[in-house]
Amino acid sequence: MPLHGNLRDFSATQVFNLINLSGRTGTLTIFEGIPTGEKDGMDKEKEAPGAEKAKVIFKTGKLVHALLSGQANDLIAVLNKAGKLTDQQATIMRDRAKGTGDKALAMRLIGANYVSQGDIVSSIQQFVLDVVYNLMSWHSGPFRFDDNSLPQEDRIYVPIDLENVIIEGARRLKKDEELLSAIPNLDVALKFPENPKEKFKGIHLSVEEWRVVSFVNPKNTIRAIAKANNMSDMEIRRIVYMLEQAGLVEIIAPAAGSASKSSSTSSRRAKAQQPIKKDVVSKLIDKIKSI
């Protein structure tokens, strides 16, 4: 029988923990939540599963694969994302390797000295972890875990210890919350400080950081910069925070009224304070008394 629920009641961290500890094999699918218009006993709107958003695959309690819907996840895409294959190489490979499974393709790439076995393993692990850390920040969405169900795809599964993923994921969530409270509003702009040339002297920035810096202009909001660079909200926050802390950019205060959207911490608080009905507590009391 599949395990199902909603991430707002049982977080991804908790689901992973259960799968890890019970050593399960199967596929966890997370769906888009479609409001049904009905309320549950906690006065929360019920959600029916809609389109698939992500799949996470486990083998005997270990994480082996994860993918977001609509995201290319074949070996070429994984190696391209990891920077092991250039865009051009990926295009050529995709054309030549039509119909070749990931395992056979991996052998060919290793044989042709394009990549090493270690490159493949680390790229797959990184790809899977990126997906999992992303979905660990989702606060709602129906999910279903189907026991012993594995996709019939020719994929390379690299087992990853879930315990470390859970701990690291939780750390990242906490860090993300700090970023959210530092930069709650993305509809603000950036500007350079008074003497930018002096400040940028001797500073080594990553490619992503330079891409953001190149868009710094009081007319561009942080949200617009993120969109132009195809970055997620958290990625842009991380970079802007670093640049701001280094004194390389200044955040221009938002106009009155447009300020701070609630952080996930405050939404958690609100969630914690949702009313629960008295009859639920009475039922619990009766049950505990009978134990």
Partner 1 sequence: MQTVKMVITGPFSSGKTEFIRSISEIEVVSTEREIKEDTAERSEKDQTTVAMDFGRITVDDDLVLYLFGTPGQRRFDFMWEILAEGMLGFIVMVDSTKPETFREAKSILETFRAYAPTPYVVAANKQDREDAWAPEDLRLALRIEPSVKLLPCVARDRESVRDVLLELLYTILEEMEMD
Q: Is 171 in the site for partner 1 (CB under 8 A)?
A: yes
Q: Is-contact 280 41, C-beta < 8 A?
A: yes
Nearer CB in complex with partner 1: 177/244 = 177
Sign of CA dihedral 254, 257, 258, 260: positive
Name the minimum Å distance from CB 55 to partner 1: 23
Q: Pick from 150, 156, 173, 251 the residue near partner 1 by CB under 8 A.
A: 173
Cα gap 83→23, rounded to integer Å: 33
> 201: helix, coil or strand?
coil
Provide the minimum distance between the beta carbon of 70 and partner 1 in the complex, in angstroms, as a whole number.
28
Burial of 77 (0-12, 13-18, 19+ CB in 10 A): middle
What would the x/- binding string for partner 1 be over residues 8 to 47, using CB under 8 A?
Answer: -xxx-xx--xx-xxx-----------------xxx-----
DSSP SS3 for 103: helix
DSSP tally for the chain: helices H, then strands E? 12, 7
Among 48, 112, 174, 208, binds partner 1 (CB under 8 A): 174
- Assigned token pair, 211: 């891409």
Write each residue from 177 to 196 as x if it is in contact with partner 1 (CB under 8 A), else as -, in one continuous string: --------------------
Interaction of residue 268 with partner 1, rule CB under 8 A: yes
Say whether residue 259 binds partner 1 (CB under 8 A): no
Residue from 167, 203, 246, 252 in contact with partner 1 (CB under 8 A): 167
What whole-number distance in Å separates Cα of residue 1 and Cα of residue 89?
Answer: 44
- Say how far apart CA 147 and CA 152 lie, in whole Å: 15
Question: CB 144 → partner 1: shortest distance, Å?
Answer: 13
Tell me which residues touch partner 1 (CB under 8 A).
5, 9-11, 13-14, 17-18, 20-22, 40-42, 163, 166-167, 170-171, 173-174, 265, 268-269, 271-274, 276, 278, 280-289, 291
